[in-house]
Amino acid sequence: MKYKLLGRSGLAVSELCLGTMTFGNTTSVEDSIAMIDRFVDHGGNFLDTADVYVSGRSEEIVGMAIKNKRSDIVLATKVRMTTSSNINGVGLSRKHILDGVDASLKRLQTDYIDLYQVHVWDEATPIEETLRTLDDLVTSGKVRYIGCSNFFAWQLMKALGISDVSRYVRFVSIQPQYSLVSRQMDREMLSLCLSENVGIIPWAPIGGGFLTGRYSRNIPTEGRLTSKVGESAWDKRATDKNFIILDTLLEAANELGKTPAQVALRWLIQREGITSPIFGASKLEQFDDNIGAIGWEMPSEVWNRLEQVSALQDDYPNRFIEKFRRPFE
């Protein structure tokens, strides 16, 4: 396992992050703990959860699993989503964040969170209130670093600007959806993160299962893609372009002697600006497959083939700006 610094920080995280959204749901407690142990044995140190995953059960299981190796783990969790029926039980207000961090710390059986992330923008709360609260948490020692997730580029830049002017701690990372079949952040977010040195921790790096090769052009018979809702629903994945990407991925996997999931993850690991893709697994067999993305390099010719087939359409303003790029840039 290799390691990268998280954004502008001096925090070193493993090149893969283990996501725990299924812990306590489709992944049993025993398998969840075994999965974390295997991840650590492979050199992994970065775990991601959230206060709403399985209604807090994911955090509880993660807390049990890392209790005796807390200092070896970079622990990330999130706040923002609805955690109670109370009118203030949602959002990024000072009250909800302070209530949320204490509840997460209790479930995680720890006195600090390494990376505390806001799950999505809250249009009802001034971002200044949110950032001041997060800054206070870092000062208090309950939180070490802060990050965001599911932001527009303008929202991230606004937050960074306010943090700089106000001398608050700034977001060191963002957690967006990003994969071969979901590259919307290439339009603006990727270049912003490269410019501001914000770490990128992609979720759904294998397209919610679409890039595993289990699914054909026919309606799938099993897995999350049968869902009618969510980002990984079949109607969002089963497009002509995505199947062309999948065909190219399957060819690459066959050439390299790897599984499609390993190649999809490896493409992200080797992409500029990507810190640590978050992979999840419902079963230990899936974990063993995904962890096979480390320990090898994808040849540039294969990487470029995947890059080209999955690239977004050349649209405005990118194609307009490109015409006027100065030769020494």
Q: Which positions are annotated as active-site residues?
A: 53
Is-contact 274 268, C-beta < 8 A? yes
Distance of CA 130 to the CA centre of its chain: 21
User: What angle, rounded to 10 degrees, do the helices at 300-310 and 240-256 form?
Assistant: 170
Region at 23 (left for phi over 0; alpha for psi -120 to 50; beta for the rest) = beta
What's the rounded Cα separation, in Å, for the pair 317 and 244? Answer: 26
Is-contact 166 128, C-beta < 8 A? yes
Report the 3 state secondary structure along 55-101. HHHHHHHHHHHHCCCHHHCEEEEEECCCCCCCCCCCCCCHHHHHHHH
Is-contact 160 128, C-beta < 8 A? no
What's the rounded Cα separation, in Å, for the pair 323 and 317? Answer: 10
Cis peptide bond prior to 317, omega within 30° of 0: yes
Q: What angle do CA 173, 266, 155 make, to 5 degrees?
A: 25
Backbone angles phi, psi at 189, to 5 degrees: -65, -40
Q: What angle do CA 60, 231, 31 make, to 5 degrees?
A: 30
What letter does residue 278 receive in the DSSP assignment? Answer: E
328 Cβ neighbours under 8 A, 6+ residues apart: none
Pick from 188, 206, 211, 207: which is nearest to 273 by CA?
A: 188
